[in-house]
Amino acid sequence: MGAALSRQGLEHPALVALGAFAVIGIGALGCVGGGLLSRRMGSRAVASVSMAVSGAMCLLAPLLFRAHPVLFAGGLLVWGIFVVSDSAQFSALAAQACPQRYVGTGLTVMNSIGFAITIVSIEWASRLFEALGPQVAWLLAPGPLLGLVLLNLAPGPERIAAWDEGKGPAAPVENLIAYPLHEFTAPERSGGPSLF
């Protein structure tokens, strides 16, 4: 943001800090708005729109860096809204698809992987920015675009539920999840089953 503002002679540390705070903070609006929209459109549709916009912003990033500071800041705010709004929807979809006894474990593993990918991507892009400039965002674009394709190829909750009841070509979902972990399952306690 500082680089774009400096081209217009508007660079100021406080302005850059405020802009960064706004871009990060506005993600909360995306999460709340996405949650409300998911009640009408469904979590899959909201997550798809979020990833499509996020992927498009990755591709448009080099143009944004050359744009007027107002357009640049506006583009980053839009990106900030959509880049995180899919996360809550993935959690909702995972909770629907996962057998009840493994929901907590499934969400923990999924979110841990998601945060790990995010941290590595941010660190990697930050280090490459000096060499590649804003074009480094193109290296991030395959993530949301691939996610968009795979999300829409994945079976819906109804199909997964049918498989879990043995009505489909696949083994019950609970067996698919439990099989790799069954050797590590601790004895059941009074509070219910535990994987660890």
- The tokens describing 80, both together, are 């900030």
Cα(186)–Cα(105) distance, rounded to whole angstroms? 14
Average pLDDT score over residue span 108-116: 91
pLDDT of residue 146 exceeding 60, the answer is: yes
Whole-angstrom distance, CA of residue 58 vs CA of residue 151: 19
Q: How confident is the model at residue 177 (pLDDT cuts 50, 70, 90)?
A: very low
pLDDT attached to residue 80: 92
Give the span between the Cα atoms of 30 and 24, in whole angstroms.
Answer: 11
Domains and CATH numbers, the chain: 2-154 (1.20.1250.20), 155-190 (no CATH)
Half-sphere exposure of 96 (CA within 13 A, CB side): 16
Q: What pLDDT, in 10s, does the model give residues 6-53?
A: 544 556 777 778 878 888 899 999 999 999 999 999 999 999 999 999
| CB neighbours of residue 174 within 10 Å | 15
Q: Residue 185 has what DSSP assignment?
A: P
Residue 100 in tokens? 């009840």
Quickly tell me which residue has 């539920």 as its tokens. Answer: 161
% of residues, the chain, pLDDT over 70 = 73
pLDDT of residue 120: 93
C-beta separation of 119 from 65 below 8 A? no
pTM beyond cutoff 0.75: no
**61-84 pLDDT per residue, tens:** 889 888 887 888 889 999 999 998
